[in-house]
């Protein structure tokens, strides 16, 4: 059995820091010694550009081989096209060509599991695979959820955060019921938190009112900070760009929370097995 855990960073709302969280959780895990693959599952290619590659350029073999190609099963070597970032993570990049997949998958065989089937081939090389989802619940996102063990939902601290959450949670439940029985929501990560307002508290309350204790919220909250927004154009993580910032500290804590959780589950698992 593979020891790799696959996590989708998912919310159909844009601008909730899915991509930023994928970068900083991914590199955070790599800094803790984990082997990590990041998958850009958004045709906008934001994850690819955030990590320093131009997703419009043809950079040779690397970007000629994108997620769309591997999902089209045109590959002989499944590791071909995976890029290596200097901070220790691998990346399966994407660009606009991926948007064709939204349509092509409609008529494909095993259309919800194409990404899963691909990741099965590279899984043995990694301990964590993080999938940065696009802001919709279409075929590509269904593929990401079908390929995952867990979902992390970043939610922006604001009024009415539960709007859209119901649809997301119901989509995840359907994927669990029909395609991927092992799928679970690991938790909600509160992001863009401004401590000068009460928005974080009212967001937590609104989520509790809607979902009760059904979904846990991570203890760590990610503060809003200009430095974090700047990082997106630097091709590196917040740890490399602004290591002493509150956001760097928050992502370090969040990474540890995700790791501690994994260890706890492993212990429970070995206990069960006895």
Q: Which residues bind Mg ion (CB under 5 A)?
A: 18-19, 46
Q: What is the DSSP string of 165-202?
A: HHHHHHHHHHHHHHT-TT-EEEEEEEEEE-TTSSHHHH
Q: Considering the complex, state which of residue 46 and residue 150 has its C-beta at the smaller distance from ligand ADP.
A: 46
What is the CA 250 to chain-centroid distance, rounded? 17
Residues 6 or more apart whose CB falls under 8 angstroms from that of 62 comprise 53, 81, 83, 93
Question: Any contact of residue 14 with ligand ADP (CB under 6 A)?
Answer: yes
Which of ligand ADP, Mg ion, none does residue 192 bind to, with CB < 5 to 8 Å depending on kind?
ligand ADP
The site string for ligand ADP over 29-58 (x = CB under 6 A, - otherwise) reads -----------------x------------
Enter the DSSP assignment of 162.
Answer: T
Which of Mg ion, ligand ADP, none does residue 104 bind to, with CB < 5 to 8 Å depending on kind?
none
Q: Considering the complex, state which of residue 147 and residue 250 has its C-beta at the smaller distance from ligand ADP.
A: 250
Q: Considering the complex, state which of residue 27 and residue 206 has its C-beta at the smaller distance from Mg ion.
A: 27
Residues 6 or more apart whose CB falls under 8 angstroms from that of 136 comprise 12
Enter the DSSP assignment of 125.
Answer: G
The site string for ligand ADP over 57-96 (x = CB under 6 A, - otherwise) reads ----------------------------------------
Q: Give the separation between CA 74 and CA 273, rounded to whole angstroms.
A: 40
Q: How many residues bind ligand ADP (CB under 6 A)?
A: 16
Q: Report the nearest approach of ligand ADP to the CB of residue 227 (Å).
A: 8
Among 142, 225, 226, 157, residue whose Cα is nearest residue 188? 157
By CB under 6 A, what part of segment 197-236 binds ligand ADP? 222, 224-225, 228-229, 232
* Binds ligand ADP by CB under 6 A, chosen from 83, 131, 192, 215: 192
Which of Mg ion, ligand ADP, none does residue 15 bind to, with CB < 5 to 8 Å depending on kind?
ligand ADP
Task: Quote the tokens at residue 258.
Answer: 């995700």
E strands present in the chain = 5-9, 36-41, 83-84, 89-92, 128-133, 150-156, 184-193, 217-223
Question: Which residues are near ligand ADP by CB under 6 A?
Answer: 14-20, 46, 192, 222, 224-225, 228-229, 232, 247
């Amino acid at each position: 059995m593979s020891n790799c855990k696959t996590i989708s960073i998912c919310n159909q709302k844009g601008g909730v820091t899915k991509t930023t969280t994928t970068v900083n959780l991914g590199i955070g895990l790599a800094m803790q010694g984990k082997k990590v693959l990041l998958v850009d599952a958004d045709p906008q290619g934001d994850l690819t550009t955030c990590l320093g590659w131009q997703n419009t350029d043809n950079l040779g073999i690397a970007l000629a081989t994108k997620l769309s190609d591997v999902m089209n099963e045109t590959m002989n070597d499944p590791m071909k096209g995976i890029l290596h970032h200097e901070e220790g993570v691998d990346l399966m990049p994407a660009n606009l060509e991926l948007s064709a997949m939204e349509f092509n998958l409609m008529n494909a065989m095993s259309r919800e599991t194409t990404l899963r089937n691909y990741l099965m081939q590279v899984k043995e090389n990694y301990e964590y695979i993080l999938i940065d989802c696009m802001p919709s619940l279409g075929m590509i996102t269904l593929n990401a959820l079908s390929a995952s063990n867990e979902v992390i939902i970043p939610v922006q601290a604001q009024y009415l955060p539960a709007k859209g959450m119901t649809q997301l949670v119901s989509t995840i439940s359907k994927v669990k019921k029909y395609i991927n029985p092992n799928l679970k929501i690991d938790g909600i990560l509160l992001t863009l938190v401004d401590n000068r307002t009460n928005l974080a508290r009212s967001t937590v309350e609104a989520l509790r009112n809607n979902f009760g204790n059904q979904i846990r919220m991570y203890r760590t909250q990610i503060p809003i900070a200009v430095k974090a927004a700047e990082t997106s154009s630097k091709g590196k993580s917040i740890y490399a760009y602004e290591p002493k910032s509150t956001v760097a500290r928050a992502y370090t804590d969040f990474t540890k929370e995700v790791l501690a959780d994994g260890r706890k589950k492993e212990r429970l698992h070995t206990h069960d097995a006895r």
